[in-house]
C-alpha cells in the first residue's frame, strides 16, 4: 500500500498503539458503566461495535507495519506504549524543577523557609551570594540578582540559550520519554 492511500500514514506506531489502548479502555469503561447502570449508555451495542471496528483497523495497520520491521529502512519500533507527542502539562508534572536545575547546572540548593536558594546558575550572572530561589510547591523560580524568573520551560530556555518554546518542549519530552524507556526496558530508543 502506498503511503498517500493509507489513512494512518501520518501516525507514528506509538500513536497507533496509544489509540488502540484508548479504545480498549473505552470498551472496559463501557462494560463497567453498564454493570452499574444498564441504562447509562443509549446505544451500547453500537458503541461497542464501533470501538471493535476501530481496534480491528488499528491492528491491521500494526500487523502490516510489523511485517515491514525487518526492512533496513523501517523506523525503529516503539519499545513501549508511550505517546511521544510533546505535552507541556505532562512534562511539567513529571519534571521536578529543583532536580532539573541541579542536574543541568550542578548547583546545590539550601532551604530557606518555603523556598530553596542557590547561586544563580543563569548565563550572564556570576554571583558570590545566593539570590536564586525556587518555590518547590509552585514549581517557579526567581533570581533576586538578575531579576529573571519563570517556570521549568523559561529556565530551560535560558539554559539552552533559545527563545523557541517548541524546541525546549521537544527537548524535555525526549529527555522524559527517554528516561522512562530506560527505566522500563533497559534500552534507549535513541
Ligand atoms: Zn541571576
What's the pLDDT tens digit per position in 146-187? Answer: 999 999 999 999 999 998 888 898 888 888 776 554 444 433
Give the pLDDT band of residue 35 (cuts 50, 70, 90). very high
First to last CA, the chain: 28
**Joined grid coordinates for residue 122:** 543563569
Q: Among 76, 97, 105, which residue's Cα sits nearest to residue 13?
A: 76
**Joined grid coordinates for residue 80:** 513501549
Partner residues linked to 35 by β-bridges: none
- Measured in Å, residue 64 CA sits from the centre of ligand 1 at 54
Helix, strand, or coil here: 173? helix
Sign of CA dihedral 15, 22, 175, 65: negative
- Measured in Å, residue 177 CA sits from the centre of ligand 1 at 30
- Measured in Å, residue 178 CA sits from the centre of ligand 1 at 30
Homologous superfamily of 88-185: Zinc finger, CHC2-typedomain (3.90.580.10)
What's the pLDDT tens digit per position in 77-87? Answer: 876 544 555 67
- Measured in Å, residue 151 CA sits from the centre of ligand 1 at 14
Please determine, for residue 72, whether its predicted confidence score (pLDDT) is greater than 70.
yes
Q: Give the phi and the psi of residue 135 in degrees, each rounded to 5.
A: -100, 105
Please determine, for residue 12, whether its predicted confidence score (pLDDT) is greater than 80.
yes
Residue 111: how many other CB atoms lie within 10 Å = 9
- Measured in Å, residue 4 CA sits from the centre of ligand 1 at 51
- Measured in Å, residue 156 CA sits from the centre of ligand 1 at 14
Looking up cell 463497567 gives 32
- Measured in Å, residue 110 CA sits from the centre of ligand 1 at 16
Q: Domain locations in the chain?
A: 3-68, 88-185
Looking up cell 444498564 gives 38
Ion ligand 1 — residues with CB under 5 Å?
120, 122, 125, 143, 145-146
> What span, in angstroms and rounded, lies between the C-alpha atoms of 188 and 185?
8
Give the predicted TM-score (pTM) of the model.
0.53
Q: Among 106, 108, 103, which residue's Cα sits nearest to residue 118?
A: 108
- Measured in Å, residue 19 CA sits from the centre of ligand 1 at 44
Amino acid at each position: 500500500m502506498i503511503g498517500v492511500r493509507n489513512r494512518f500514514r501520518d501516525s507514528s506506531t506509538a500513536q497507533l498503539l496509544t489509540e488502540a489502548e484508548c479504545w480498549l479502555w473505552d470498551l472496559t469503561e463501557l462494560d463497567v458503566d453498564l454493570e452499574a447502570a444498564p441504562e447509562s449508555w443509549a446505544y451500547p451495542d453500537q458503541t461497542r461495535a464501533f470501538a471493535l471496528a476501530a481496534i480491528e483497523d488499528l491492528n491491521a495497520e500494526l500487523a502490516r507495519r510489523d511485517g515491514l520491521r525487518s526492512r533496513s529502512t523501517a523506523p525503529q519500533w516503539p519499545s513501549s506504549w508511550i505517546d511521544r507527542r510533546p505535552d507541556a502539562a505532562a512534562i511539567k508534572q513529571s519534571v521536578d524543577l529543583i532536580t532539573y536545575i541541579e542536574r543541568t547546572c550542578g548547583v546545590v540548593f539550601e532551604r530557606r523557609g518555603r523556598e530553596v536558594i542557590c547561586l544563580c546558575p543563569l548565563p550572564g550572572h556570576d554571583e558570590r551570594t545566593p539570590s536564586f530561589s525556587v518555590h518547590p510547591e509552585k514549581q517557579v523560580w526567581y533570581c533576586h540578582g538578575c531579576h529573571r524568573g519563570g517556570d521549568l520551560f523559561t529556565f530551560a530556555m535560558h539554559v539552552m540559550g533559545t527563545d523557541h518554546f517548541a524546541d525546549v518542549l521537544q527537548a524535555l519530552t525526549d529527555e522524559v520519554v527517554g528516561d522512562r524507556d530506560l527505566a522500563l526496558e533497559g534500552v534507549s530508543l535513541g
